[in-house]
């Protein structure tokens, strides 16, 4: 690679904080304890918020991932990092997957997830809330890995003029490439969609 002037894609050092854990809302225990496996879909979801840079300013991205298949089952984008951003991603996941009672929902302890509105939504869907320890990114490693992959494989190669342009590109990456085409080592080097299809065929 050195001889031919080729270098691997690098993670950028600039980072914007997206977790505000200095709030008065209750914090729930970490039910996962860094055990990032699930033997069935819609049993454990992990959620987080990140951002991308555009010429208009930051675009914030909230996502929900199924821990079994690694599929992004819910996502939302906005110019503001609000609880509504996180709620929209959750609502999308619920509409798409119709999860059973008792699903574990894991996130950081940021104000968006700890807020009364978000916690009420989890209760209305009969979900069990789990939160990472303060300042420990390893407690939500699958979501951190997804954001790293999204940015290194796609975002860092682009220059987004508008947030609308970034939204369209990220939508295509998640729904067209990541969920349906990208191969994942953690699920046997197939795509999340193919992995879920395999599981459904076994049940049938």
Mean pLDDT computed over 42-70: 97
pLDDT in tens, 136-166: 677 899 999 999 999 999 999 899 999 999 9
- pLDDT score of 108 more than 50: yes
Q: From CA 7, how far away is CA 179, in angstroms rounded?
A: 27
Q: From CA 46, how far away is CA 37, in angstroms rounded?
A: 11
Q: From CA 98, how far away is CA 59, in angstroms rounded?
A: 28
Residue with tokens 């001889």: 3
Domain boundaries, the chain: 44-203
Q: What percent of the chain has pLDDT over 70?
A: 87
pTM: 0.87
- pLDDT score of 112 more than 60: yes
Burial of 71 (0-12, 13-18, 19+ CB in 10 A): buried
190 backbone dihedrals φ, ψ, rounded to 5°:
-130, 175
State the greatest distance between any 2 C-alpha atoms of the chain, in Å, as a whole number.
59
Reading the block at residue 142, the tokens are: 């699958």
Instruction: Please say whether the beta carbons of 61 and 170 come within 8 A.
Output: yes
3.40.50.300, 3.20.20.120, 3.30.429.10, 3.30.420.10: which CATH number matches 44-203?
A: 3.30.420.10
- CA atoms in the 13 A half-sphere facing the CB of 125: 25
- CA atoms in the 13 A half-sphere facing the CB of 36: 19
pLDDT in tens, 84-94: 999 999 999 99
């Amino acid at each position: 690679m050195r001889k031919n002037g080729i270098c691997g894609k690098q993670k950028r050092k600039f980072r914007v904080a997206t977790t505000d854990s200095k709030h008065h809302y209750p914090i729930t225990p970490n039910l996962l304890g860094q055990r990032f496996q699930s033997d069935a879909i819609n049993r454990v979801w992990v959620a987080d918020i990140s951002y991308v840079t555009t010429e208009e300013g930051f675009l914030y991205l909230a996502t929900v991932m199924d821990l079994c298949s690694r599929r992004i089952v819910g996502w939302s984008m906005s110019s503001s990092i609000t609880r509504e951003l996180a709620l929209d991603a959750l609502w999308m996941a619920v509409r798409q997957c119709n999860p059973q009672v008792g699903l574990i929902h894991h996130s950081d302890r940021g104000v968006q997830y700890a807020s009364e509105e978000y916690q009420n939504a989890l209760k209305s869907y009969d979900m069990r809330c789990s939160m990472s320890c303060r300042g420990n990114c390893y407690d939500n490693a699958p979501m951190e890995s997804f954001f790293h992959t999204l940015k290194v494989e796609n975002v860092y190669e682009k220059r987004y003029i508008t947030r609308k342009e970034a939204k369209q590109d990220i939508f295509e990456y998640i729904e067209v490439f990541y969920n349906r085409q990208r191969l994942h080592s953690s699920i046997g080097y197939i795509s999340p969609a193919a992995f879920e299809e395999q599981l459904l065929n076994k049940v049938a």
